[in-house]
Structure formats: C-alpha cells, structure tokens
Copies of this chain bind each other. A is one copy, B any other.
Amino acid sequence: MVRFVHPSKDDITLSGLLEALADPLRLKILKTLIEQKGFLSCCQSAPCPKIAKSTLSNHFRILRESGLIRMSKKGVENHSVVRLEEINEKFPGLLKAILKHAD
C-alpha cells in the first residue's frame, strides 16, 4: 500500500508553490484539476500523451510535496485534488492571480 506524505498547511511555503507552478506542465495539470472539480487520476489530469509516466509521476510528487494537491489511492488509480481552501487561507489571492493568466 502506497501511503502518500503530504506537508501540513503550516509547512507550505511560497517558494515551494512558485517552484511547483513554474513548470508549464504542472501549471496545466493544476488548472485541469481545478476546472474539472473532480478527483482525477494522473493520466486524466495530464493533458500530454507523449510524456513518460515516470516523469509524470515525478511531477505529481512535486505538486504533492509543495502542498498544492492531495493524492489518495483509489483502486488502481491515484486521485488528486487541489488543496484550495488551505492554500487560500495561507496565501490569499495567490492561486487565483496565477491561474487567471494560465493559458
């Protein structure tokens, strides 16, 4: 059983968030997760068929370790959800301001 480690809200840092969102693919993944408002699997939320799955797995790890998403194993898939409330509490307006300009 894979047990994912997530940072607590207090451990989420601005630099961590910016670093995670600085990659165009990760930004796109996050945008997709928010727009779909669902619990998407990694492949569903990554609009990129060409990328290696090991690379994708790494991108999700970075998103998770930055505190941006919460992942849980549901059957054979990972379901990811954006930690909107927590991030908005700690950094009000930040996500909205960034995502507003994403593609």
Contact = CB atoms under 8 A, between A and B. Distances in A.
Interface in A79-94: 91, 93-94
A74 interface: no
A18 B98 contact: yes
Interface of A is mostly: helix
Q: How many copies does the complex hold?
A: 2
27 contacts: A14-B27, A14-B101, A14-B102, A15-B22, A15-B23, A15-B24, A15-B27, A18-B21, A18-B22, A18-B27, A18-B98, A19-B22, A19-B23, A21-B22, A22-B22, A91-B101, A93-B93, A93-B97, A93-B100, A94-B97, A94-B98, A94-B100, A94-B101, A96-B97, A97-B97, A97-B98, A98-B98
